[in-house]
Structure 1
Amino acid sequence: MKKVVKNGLMLCAFFGTILLFNSCKSENSTAGNGANTATGEELTIVAHVTVLPEFKAELITAFQSIVEETRKEAGNISYGLYENTSDPLKFTFVEVWKSQTAIDAHNASAHFQEFAKKLGGKADLDVSILKQKF
């Protein structure tokens, strides 16, 4: 019983901290100091990529290149690649864009087109485009 109560209290503390952090972040970003540059058009892309084992080394090089080139794009806010800690063949791209127009420009860019060709038949993709709700 003590362990259940302790775990419950730890979860409450954890979620309470997250709520506090998010409320502080929200208050700070909406202050009237002009620091908030969000337009409401921002979109986040989460792309889960599972590579075939025989292509991992080749695709890691392609991943590094696309990250470096994409971060230079005017419409890109952030672009990161994450490796799954329990499955070294799974990666996740988390991209934040200023607008759909910025995503369209990225998708039409030479470096993205080259990257898409390199991925062909060497990985499975699951892509979601998200708009922040709150």
Structure 2
Amino acid sequence: MNIWLTAVIKTKPEYREEVLAVLQHMVQETRKEEACLLYDLHQGTTDKDLFVFYEIWKNQEGLDAHNRQPYIAAFAALAAGKLAEAPQIYLTEKI
């Protein structure tokens, strides 16, 4: 069963470019994963410090494997001091 995930990330303004580079690297690498059906990154139109991932995964196992990748760990390490707030993750199902 597919999994739809939306992740909202708010960076501190002074780290926007650094965080964006890491997020873009995550997109590049994640799209190579077998279980990844869609992995799109969006940026706020009025708030450039706001980033939103829209993701579709084949299954929970694939999402779990994604969350163990080194580029996800690198983002988690970066996020500790450079985000304005903790990322918000929403798991949804299509209705």
Q: Return the index of the structure with the highest Cα Rg.
A: 1
Give the AA of the match of 1:76: C
**2: CA distance, partners of 1:122 / 1:115:** 10
The equivalent position to 1:63 in structure 2, one of 3, 23, 40, is: 23
Give the AA of the match of 2:26: I
Structure 2: state its 5+ residue gaps: none
TM-score normalised by L of structure 2? 0.92
Moved more, 110-119 or 62-71: 110-119
Question: Within 5 A, what are the aligned runs for 1:71-110?
Answer: 71-110=31-70
Give the AA of the match of 2:73: Q
Aligned-residue offset at 1:121: 2.4
Q: Counterpart in 1 of 2:94? A: 132
Moved more, 67-76 or 110-119: 110-119
Q: 1 or 2 for the larger relative contact order (CA 8 Å, sep ≥6)?
A: 2
- Counting strand residues as a fraction of each chain, which structure ranks higher? 2
Aligned-residue offset at 1:61: 0.7
TM-score normalised by L of structure 1? 0.67
- Counting helix residues as a fraction of each chain, which structure ranks higher? 1
Question: Within 5 A, what are the aligned runs for 1:1-134?
Answer: 41-123=1-83, 124=85, 125-133=87-95
Give the AA of the match of 1:109: Q
Note the aligned Cα RMSD (angstroms): 0.9
**2: CA distance, partners of 1:50 / 1:90:** 5
Corresponding pairs, count: 93
